[in-house]
Structure formats: C-alpha cells, structure tokens
C-alpha cells in the first residue's frame, strides 16, 4: 500500500499550484479567505480565468472542452483550489447541467448550450425542489402541458440558489399526472426572461439572500428545450444528483478553514494563554483534525475504487455525511474561538469591498454568520438523513 | 419533595407568558431586535408595568421577589418569547448595587424599570484600569461586547485589579463613549471606551474587600438568568419542531413517522429535560449558604445549557430542513440565540473547567 501520489500526479499538483499562484487575483483569494460574500462579477471573473486555461469544466470530456483529467487529478485540483482560497466554481451549469447534456442531450442542445456555459454567456440555476417536494423530490407538482410547439409551465420552485443572477433554469416538471410519480417527470430548459416567471428572494438565517422562490405562471417553453425523452426526466435527475455530490466531502475547504482556525486559536487568548493551549479547546481541535485526516484518506479510497468509472454512486453519500459534519464542526470551533466577539452583527462587514473598522479581532464578524450559513450543508443536496437511507439500502442491503 | 413553584411565582410566570404570547409575536420581536436601539422601548415599558424587574429583587432592594426561582421563572418566560429587552443588564447591575449596599435612587430606578442599566465586565483589546486621583478615580480602557450598552443610562463597571473594583458610571460621563451594534441573534450590545473618565469617590460600589462578593452576586444571577432563558427558548423550539414533524409530509406521510427523525427528536427531548434539571439545581443552590455548592451548580447549569443549546439549535434546524434556515421562520432566531448564549459570561468549556476547579 502506498498512500502517496505518483510522480505524474505530483507534477500535476505543481502545475496546478503554479497556476493558482500566477492567475488567481489576490483580491479574489483575499475575499474567499476572509469568508466575504462574492458578487456575481467576482464569480464570473474567476470562471473566465479558468476557462481561458481550459480548466473550468474539468470533468467534461475533451470533445466538449474538458481537460481529460482522471478522478485523482480532479481531486487534486479541487483540493489545491480550496487551499489557494480560489472562489468555488458555480456548479449549476458546469457541474450539474453540463454532464446531463453531454450524456442525454441532443447534438443541437450540446452545440447550443455547452459553449455558452464555458464562456459565461448563460448563468444557470437549478429548479428541482418545491415547497411540497424536498427530500421527496419525485413528489414535485410543477406541470408542463404540451401545446403545439411549446410546453406551458405552471408551478413553483424553491431554494433556487443564486437564481437572482440566472439567465436560464433547468427544471424538473410533471408531464404526466397519471403515471407513477417517478415516471411522469421531464427535464426542461427554461429562459428566465420568459413572461410569467417571477423570482422572489428568501432571506436566510444569517441575513443573506442566496436562495429564491421561482414562480411559473403559464410560461411557454419551446419543445426543443426538452432534454432527452418526455417522462424520462427522473433518470437524468438522478444522474445529475450523483454529480452534485461529487467533491461534496469538501476536504480542501476543510483543510483551508482548519488552517484558519489554527491561526485564530493562536491569536485569541483565554485565561492569559493562547486558546490553542487550552486543554479543552485543543482537544476539540485535535478531534476534528484527526477526523479530517481520516476523511482525506477515505475520500481517496473511494476515488481509487471508482477511478475511470465516472462519478461515485452510494459511496458519495458517505463522503457527504462525514465531510459536511467536519466542515460544520470547524465553523463551530471558529465561532467559539472568538468568544464574545463572535456576537457583534455587522452585515456590511460580510460584503466584498467593505473598509470599515472591525469590532474586535479582524474577521470575527464572519465567524457566526458562516457557522449558521453552513448548517445548510447537512440539509441540501439530499439531507444527511436521506444519504443514510441510501447507504442503508445500496451499500448495506437493508 | 415538591417541584412545583409557589402560587405567587406561578401567577407571575403565567402573567408574563400570556403577555408575551399576546403582545410579542416574532415580527414585533425582530423589529426591535434588529433596530438601531436593539430593543423596543414600548415593549420594555409595557413589560415593566407588570413589575418584571421588581420580581428579580428582594424587599430590601425595593422588589418583591429575588430568589433563584424568581429569576428562573422570569427568564424562562423571557427566553420562551425570545425577548431582547434589557432585563439582563437590570438584573446584573442591580444585583451588584444591592450587594454593595447601594440602596439608593439608582437602584430604585433600575428595580422600577425606569432606568436602563448595563453590566460591563469583559475587557476589550485595552483592559480597563482604575487609578486613584485625589479622592476619586480615573478609568481608562475598553469593555467588550457589553449587553444593551447603547440603551443604558448607567453602567456597573468591573475593573480587574488585585481585587475587582466595581464602579457605577453614568452613560454621559465625560470621556466615555459607546460603539453600539446589534448582535447576531438580534438585540443590542456595544464596546464601551473609557478615555480618562474621572469619577468621585462615591462612584465605587462597596468598600475594601467587597469587590469579589459584588461581582459574584451579579455574575451568579446572570448565569442563572441566561441558563433559564436558554431553557425557555429550548422549550419553544421543541414544541415548534414537534409540530413540524407532525405536519410536514414527505413520501406521503408526516416526517415524524420516520424512525431516524423520531430518535433525533427523542434525544432532543431528554437533553432538554436534563437542562431543566440543571437550571432547577442552580436556582435551588442560588439561595443556599454554601458558596462553593452554589458556584458549582451555576457552572454546571451554564455548561449544560451551552452544550444542549447548540444541540437543540442544530437539531431543530436539521429536522426542519430548509425552512429552519430561513429568516422568516421563528425557529431560526431561537436557534441563533441558543448558540450565541454560549458566548456570554463564559462558554461550556470555561464552565466545565470552573466546575472541575471548584470540586
């Protein structure tokens, strides 16, 4: 057994590191490191830089503009990206829709939409969840009724992340109300500028507006925007979800935020000594650090097992549960580390470009909002309870 | 053995719970909690007409209660309604003055609810120092994240020197400034800077050798109050989450039918029961003669509600799914309070270590 990367993988990592060193704007990495909220233009700027290098859609086949990387290379890239405090790639077009179109889309759809994902012409969002269909995704009620060359869509989607910026939304819609619930669903691409669409922001627990409700009233969608076959959308939806859970362990994010936590624990004092030297806090940090090292190896073991076979299936559920627990624990410790100074709520300090005077230690203002915001990690993308059901069924055979 | 509150205390609690249920919906609460003032002066006035602060003090201090169980029922009710009005400052500052023998008009104003007071203990980047000047004192330095600092017209300030010195400082003293802000879960706080604030000899609360006892009286009451407040908030969250588990349907059945969620909710329930016992233990020991037993019970309670509060907050959000993540839904604000209460007057690690040290 050899846990080290091959020489080829090592040199790939060096290449990736050099790229981040040379091409990642310091302004962006500072915002990410400090936990600030990025603006649309910031995310678009980073997409354009990655795309110029051909690394934006790093799991797409070369034919459609991907770099042809192995799963290990993608893991290395994602890790290095987080360690360099690069902005996250906005996943909806690149990581979610792209693979679906490549596998199930028509040639016309691929030619029309894939290049526009890469060059940033379209900002996509995801229309999956509904008020009555969360964990029970197939319980969705939004309808699409065919009328000549168009589908007429009515209904409501919710938790539409960054939908306020979107040009396009990919939606699951019910096209056959009489079939079994998984068998009457279709996968539609909808222009957000269509008449009859209304986007309403949802304010989250930390005061941020990153998700939305999207309402559809008699929205006409060209039949040409149906992906695959009518009533077969559930198959495509499930395929997309396995991609949504790729890299959901977020090991790189955990490593980067744990490094930050160590700095904070050194600079914050408790009873006259560094918090890192407080036995109880040090034990909490050590536990999560050990968990993280274990997670990193688990992640690599899963990747090695599926190498060459595309996205992992039920194994990604293990990564999601443990990875999100670790990320949440690190944000909890960071919040705790600031003591009383985690409490002041300075909303403007969370925004990119704020130059006001901090209350208490630098970056303390981000700690509690970040902790509360990250409670979502164990809820979205299929809650951790749903992931445990998947493990019970698919891995344990129970 | 009898775990019932006395009739008087139960009436007080019922009155307060009813007033808050009818007059303090979450929208009203949030409007005050996230305003510049950090509370709603109208609500504060209405609640004080019920004599809420007076219930926190004994007759010698001008009140009609003041036992550990009085503090418990009041703050449990305040926590249940997620009240942000400045009761904690009244309790802690008032208790400090009473312990120092200052039964004067300032204490009377606090007990009647006319005067808003803040208790400033934790130091900021530059610790507050007190130096003798003539008959009086000069204060310099900064106190950190003082609850309700912006609203207060008087401050009780603890200066940690050889022994703690305690001062009563009016908010308009020359050289004093407050940087006010809201806190994450709603409510007001501020950093208080003393830039060579000169005070007369009478600003000192208590005499030689009394400082530690005064601080202990105030902080002990604060720990009990925060523990009880957390308990009330947990009770609200428990009921809201149970309601959600019964109402919300997925896969054609209420989600409360799923065993995975049942077990999580069962854990929440039994941990809240333990927290309730911890608060009862603390309230009972609060009035006892054994100072060590009192301090251990208070540390145990604050440790317990710190740990359990985060558990209840995190589980309630998880059991609600996305709804629990929204600003619009009351549970999210209760969850924030339950987590952030651990950041006040020492967190669970601090109190666990204190409990060990007192053993």
Of B182, B321, B332, the CB nearest to A205: B332
Give the sheet arrangement for strand B129-133, strand by strand: A344-345, B176-183, B188-199, B136-147, B129-133
Closest CA to A130 of A116, A117, A143, A113: A143
Of A335, A339, A378, the CB nearest to B318: A378
What integer pLDDT is reported at residue A245 of this predicted model?
Answer: 65
Could you give the CA distance from residue B61 to residue B54 in angstroms, rounded to a whole number? 9
**Residue ranges of the alpha helices (H) in A338-383?**
364-373
Could you give the CA distance from residue A51 to residue A243 in angstroms, rounded to a whole number? 20
Closest CA to A66 of A81, A77, A51, A83: A51
List the structure tokens of A394.
């698919």
Q: Do residue A345 and residue B183 have CB atoms under 8 angstroms apart?
A: yes
Could you give the CA distance from residue B275 to residue B269 in angstroms, rounded to a whole number? 10
Question: Considering A80, A130, A210, A244, which one is annotated as catalytic?
Answer: A244
Place of tokens 């130091």: B123
A345, β-bridge pairs: B182
Could you give the CA distance from residue B227 to residue B105 in angstroms, rounded to a whole number? 29
List the structure tokens of B135.
């008959």
Give the pLDDT confidence of B37-94 residue by residue, as tens digits.
999 999 999 999 999 999 999 999 999 999 999 999 999 999 999 999 999 999 999 9
Per-10-residue mean pLDDT of chain A, 398 residues long, equals 86 97 96 90 97 95 92 90 95 95 97 97 96 92 97 97 97 96 96 98 94 98 98 94 74 93 94 92 96 90 74 80 96 97 92 85 92 95 91 90
What integer pLDDT is reported at residue B2 of this predicted model?
Answer: 78
Q: Which of B343, B344, B353, B357 to mutate to test the interface with A (most CBs of A within 10 A)?
A: B343
End-to-end CA distance of chain A: 32
- Please tell me whether residue A69 adopts helix, strand or coil conformation: coil
**Residue ranges of the alpha helices (H) in A315-396?**
315-337, 364-373, 384-390
Q: Is the pTM of this model over 0.90?
A: yes
Q: What angle separates helix A71-83 from helix A279-306, to the nearest 10 degrees?
A: 150
Q: Which of B321, B324, B331, B332 to mutate to test the interface with A (most CBs of A within 10 A)?
A: B321
Could you give the CA distance from residue A380 to residue A320 in angstroms, rounded to a whole number? 10
DSSP assignments along B232-260, one per residue = HHHHHHHHHHHHHHHH-EETTEEGGGSHH
Which residues of B are less than 8 Å from A203 in CB distance? Answer: 326-328
Which residues of B are less than 8 Å from A340 in CB distance? Answer: 122, 144-145, 343-344
Q: Do residue B342 and residue A336 have CB atoms under 8 angstroms apart?
A: yes
Could you give the CA distance from residue A110 to residue A150 in angstroms, rounded to a whole number? 20
Q: Do residue B352 and residue A280 have CB atoms under 8 angstroms apart?
A: yes
Q: Do residue A343 and residue B122 have CB atoms under 8 angstroms apart?
A: no
Q: Do residue A207 and residue B327 have CB atoms under 8 angstroms apart?
A: yes
Of A206, A343, A378, the CB nearest to B343: A343
Q: Do residue A332 and residue B335 have CB atoms under 8 angstroms apart?
A: no
Residue B196's alpha-carbon distances to B118, B175, B176, in angstroms, are: 20, 6, 8
What integer pLDDT is reported at residue B333 of this predicted model?
Answer: 98
Length of chain A equals: 398
Tell me, yes or no, if A244 is annotated catalytic.
yes
Q: Could you tell me how many CB contacts below 8 A there are between chain A and chain B?
A: 122
CB of B281 closer than 8 Å to CB of B293: no
- Per-residue burial over A336-362, b if 16 or more Cβ lie within 10 Å, else e, is bbbbbbbbbbbeebbebeeeeeebbbe
CB of B318 closer than 8 Å to CB of A375: yes
List the structure tokens of B101.
């023998």
CB within 8 Å of B26: residues ≥ 6 apart:
B82, B330, B333
Taking the CB of residue A14, how many other CB atoms lie within 10 A of it?
Answer: 11
Could you give the CA distance from residue A41 to residue B335 in angstroms, rounded to a whole number? 33
Of B318, B335, B343, the CB nearest to A379: B318
Could you give the CA distance from residue B322 to residue B226 in angstroms, rounded to a whole number? 28
Give the residue from chain B lying closest to A282, CA to CA.
B349
What integer pLDDT is reported at residue B324 of this predicted model?
Answer: 96
Segments of chain B scoring below 70 in pLDDT: none
Q: Do residue B250 and residue A135 have CB atoms under 8 angstroms apart?
A: yes
What integer pLDDT is reported at residue A349 of this predicted model?
Answer: 86
Which residues of A are less than 8 Å from B336 in CB distance? Answer: 205, 368, 372
What integer pLDDT is reported at residue A22 of this predicted model?
Answer: 97
- Please tell me whether residue B130 adopts helix, strand or coil conformation: strand
Give the pLDDT confidence of A19-62 residue by residue, as tens digits.
999 999 999 999 999 888 899 999 999 999 999 999 999 989 99
Could you give the CA distance from residue A266 to residue A282 in angstroms, rounded to a whole number? 11
Q: How far is CA B354 from the centre of its chain?
A: 19
With 0-12 CB in 10 A as exposed, 13-18 as middle and 19+ as buried, what is A283? Answer: exposed
Residue B72's alpha-carbon distances to A172, A189, B13, B92, B301, in angstroms, are: 52, 57, 10, 14, 12
Which residues of A are less than 8 Å from B249 in CB distance? Answer: 132
Of A136, A344, A368, the CB nearest to B250: A136
What integer pLDDT is reported at residue B46 of this predicted model?
Answer: 93
What integer pLDDT is reported at residue B8 of this predicted model?
Answer: 84
Place of tokens 């080290």: A4
With 0-12 CB in 10 A as exposed, 13-18 as middle and 19+ as buried, what is A127? Answer: buried
List the structure tokens of B141.
């330095």
3-state helix, strand, coil in chain B (%, to 5): 55, 15, 25
Could you give the CA distance from residue A276 to residue A262 in angstroms, rounded to a whole number? 7
End-to-end CA distance of chain B: 26
**Residue ranges of the alpha helices (H) in B321-329?**
none
- Please tell me whether residue A188 adopts helix, strand or coil conformation: strand
What region does A264 belong to: left with phi over 0, alpha with psi -120 to 50, or beta?
Answer: alpha
DSSP assignments along A253-304, one per residue = HHHHHHHHHHHHHHHSEETTEEGGGSHHHHHHHHHHHHHHHHHHHHHHHHHH
């Amino acid at each position: 057994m050899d846990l080290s990367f091959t020489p080829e993988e090592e040199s790939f990592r060096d290449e990736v590191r050099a790229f981040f060193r040379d091409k990642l704007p310091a302004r962006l990495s500072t915002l990410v490191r400090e936990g600030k909220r990025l603006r649309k233009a910031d995310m678009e700027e980073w997409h354009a830089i990655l795309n110029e290098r051909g690394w934006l859609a790093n799991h797409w086949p070369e034919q459609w503009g991907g770099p042809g990387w192995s799963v290990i290379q993608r893991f290395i890239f994602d890790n290095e990206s987080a360690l360099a405090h690069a902005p996250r790639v906005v996943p909806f077009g690149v990581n979610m829709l792209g693979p679906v179109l490549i596998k199930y889309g028509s040639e016309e759809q691929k030619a029309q939409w894939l290049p526009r994902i890469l060059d940033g012409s379209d900002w996509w969002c995801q229309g999956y969840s509904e008020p009555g269909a969360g964990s029970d995704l197939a319980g969705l009620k939004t309808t699409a009724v065919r009328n000549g060359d168009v589908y007429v869509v009515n209904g409501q989607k919710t938790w539409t992340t960054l939908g306020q910026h979107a040009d396009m939304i990919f939606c699951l819609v019910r096209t056959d109300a009489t079939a079994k619930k998984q068998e009457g669903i279709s996968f539609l691409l909808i222009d957000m500028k269509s008449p009859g669409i209304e986007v309403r922001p949802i304010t989250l627990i930390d005061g941020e507006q990153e998700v939305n409700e999207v309402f559809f009233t008699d929205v006409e969608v060209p039949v040409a925007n149906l992906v695959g076959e009518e009533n077969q959308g559930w198959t495509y939806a499930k395929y997309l979800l396995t991609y949504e859970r790729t890299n959901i362990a977020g090991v790189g994010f955990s490593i980067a935020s744990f490094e930050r936590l160590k700095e904070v624990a050194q600079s914050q004092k408790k009873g006259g000594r560094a918090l890192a030297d407080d036995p109880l806090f040090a034990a909490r940090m050590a536990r999560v650090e050990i968990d993280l090292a274990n997670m990193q190896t688990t992640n690599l073991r899963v990747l090695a097992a599926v190498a060459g076979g595309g996205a992992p299936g039920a194994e990604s559920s293990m990564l999601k549960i443990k990875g999100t627990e670790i990320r949440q624990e690190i944000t909890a410790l960071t919040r705790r580390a600031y003591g009383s100074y985690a409490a002041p709520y300075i909303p403007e300090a969370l925004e990119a470009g704020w130059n006001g005077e901090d209350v208490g230690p630098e970056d303390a203002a981000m700690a509690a909002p970040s902790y509360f915001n990250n409670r979502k990690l164990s809820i979205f993308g299929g809650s951790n309870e749903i992931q445990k059901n998947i493990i019970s069924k698919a891995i344990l055979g129970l | 053995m009898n775990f019932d509150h006395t009739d008087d205390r139960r009436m007080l609690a019922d009155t307060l719970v009813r007033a808050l249920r009818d007059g303090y919906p979450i929208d009203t609460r949030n409007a005050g909690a996230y305003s510049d003032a950090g509370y709603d002066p109208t609500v504060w006035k209405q609640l004080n007409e019920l004599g809420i602060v007076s219930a926190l003090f004994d007759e010698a201090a001008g009140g009609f209660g003041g036992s550990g169980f009085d503090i418990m029922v009041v703050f449990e009710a305040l926590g249940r309604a997620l009240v942000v009005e400045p009761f904690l400052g009244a309790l802690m500052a008032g208790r400090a003055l009473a312990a120092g023998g200052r039964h004067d008009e300032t204490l009377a104003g606090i007990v009647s609810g006319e005067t808003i007071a803040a208790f400033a203990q934790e130091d900021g980047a530059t610790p507050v120092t007190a130096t003798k000047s003539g008959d009086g004192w000069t204060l310099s330095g900064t106190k950190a994240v003082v609850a309700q600092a912006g609203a207060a017209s008087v401050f009780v300030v603890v200066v940690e020197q050889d022994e703690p010195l305690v001062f009563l400082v009016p908010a308009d003293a020359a050289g004093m400034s407050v940087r006010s802000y809201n806190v994450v879960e709603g409510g007001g706080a501020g950093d208080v800077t003393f830039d060579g604030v000169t005070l007369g000899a009478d600003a000192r609360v208590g005499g030689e050798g009394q400082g530690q006892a005064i601080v202990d009286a105030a902080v002990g009451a604060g720990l009990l109050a925060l523990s009880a407040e957390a308990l009330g908030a947990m009770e609200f969250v428990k009921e809201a989450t149970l309601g959600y588990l019964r109402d919300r349907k997925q896969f054609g059945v209420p989600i409360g039918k799923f065993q995975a969620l049942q077990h999580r909710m069962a854990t929440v329930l039994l941990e809240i029961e333990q927290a309730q016992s911890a608060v009862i233990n603390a309230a009972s020991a609060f009035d006892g003669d054994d100072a060590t037993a009192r301090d251990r019970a208070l540390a145990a309670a604050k440790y317990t509600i710190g740990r359990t509060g985060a558990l209840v907050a995190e589980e309630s959000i998880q059991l609600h799914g996305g709804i629990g993540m929204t600003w619009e839904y009351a549970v999210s604000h209760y969850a924030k309070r339950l987590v952030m209460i651990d950041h006040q007057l020492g967190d669970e690690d601090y109190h666990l270590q204190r409990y060990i040290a007192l053993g």
